[in-house]
Amino acid sequence: MIRKIFPKISLNISYLLLILLLAVTGMAMAQGHGPLYGLQTPTLAKGGVDLNVASMSLSTEDETSYMLRYLFSYGITEDLQINLTTPTMIERLGDAPRTRGNSNMPANGDIEASLWYRFFSNAFGVGKRFESTAIVGVSAPTDDVRGQVNVGNSVHAAISTGYASRTWYGWIGGGYQYYFKKGGEQLGDLPYASAVVGYRPNIFMGDYPKPDWRIFIESLAEFPGDNKFEGQMDFTDSRSTKILVGPSFLGLYGAWGISFGAMFPVVQDLTLGAVKERYRLAINLSYWL
């Protein structure tokens, strides 16, 4: 199984890098300075601008998607941030699992606008702080049908809390995405939770402006609900359970940041018709204006 997966992953990483390179040559970019997949808390400075481009891939048993995502973020205040993300789909999945790309990027081809509000922040030492952030967002799909189901607009809300220091990081959070009905059909909703632990080794404790690297172990638990069709039985209580775990790396230098990582499913308790995943890959480049 592992031998079957790894050659394909190497190939996909090459694709992702190529796609990212093509995108980078045309624009500046960025994302937060936390985990790649899990919910996080940092918000931009007042008046701060963050541009990101991410290259993402999701592989199921039968097919693999490739997507570029652009994210524009602006700090209205030091605690309030708006985001807008748009996708360029290179390869869509015919039958896409319900998931999110990360805390401010949908995994599927949705355009999303979101608002982050850091409602609690306690900086209590050099480099140390506790903080909590709430996220609300609205999405519009760029595809009409996803897995033979009409795709409607959706809303997303999440909350996360975490600790940051110069050495250790940790975030936990949970979120919920709800798709509206379209043409008598409705994509299943998505409650999810995430937990992330981060560490910066001593070797990367060089002071600013030296490069700054850290590693994260990220985990996601997703509980996608079944799709609903008008005139058919309502399986409201029927949900899949997926737990994914994987490493990610974040490198920062001045105004630039790069993160990359992978997630692998460790639990997939799926309902009938749900799609089995093999892995997720992502690379993200950030630029803080």
Partner 1 sequence: MRNIFRIMMIGLFGIGTASGQITKVDQEVYGMDCAPCAYGLERGLKKMDGLQEVRVSLNDGKAYMGLAAENGLKLRSIQEEVKKNGFSAKKAEVTLIGNATKEDGQWYIETANERFSVSQDTPKALLQKLTVGTATISGTVQDEEDDNLSGQWSIVLTKIE
Which residues here bind partner 1, judged by CB under 8 A?
33, 42-48, 78-79, 118, 121, 123-129, 164-166, 205, 207-212, 252-255, 257, 286, 288
The distance of closest approach from Cβ of residue 71 to partner 1 in the complex, given in angstroms and rounded to an integer, is 15
Contacts for 66 with CB less than 8 Å, ≥ 6 apart: 12, 15, 16, 19, 55, 56, 57, 89, 90, 91
Q: Which residue has tokens 């940790």? A: 170
The token duo for 214 is 């850290």
Nearer to partner 1, 107 or 164 (CB): 164
Nearer to partner 1, 5 or 123 (CB): 123
Nearer to partner 1, 190 or 283 (CB): 283
Q: At 17, phi and psi to the nearest 5? A: -65, -40
The distance of closest approach from Cβ of residue 79 to partner 1 in the complex, given in angstroms and rounded to an integer, is 7
188 closest CA partner among 241, 227, 215, 237? 227
The distance of closest approach from Cβ of residue 72 to partner 1 in the complex, given in angstroms and rounded to an integer, is 16
Q: Calculate the alpha carbon distances from 29 to 38, 54, 72, 254, 256 in Å.
A: 20, 8, 8, 14, 9
The distance of closest approach from Cβ of residue 155 to partner 1 in the complex, given in angstroms and rounded to an integer, is 27
Nearer to partner 1, 63 or 79 (CB): 79
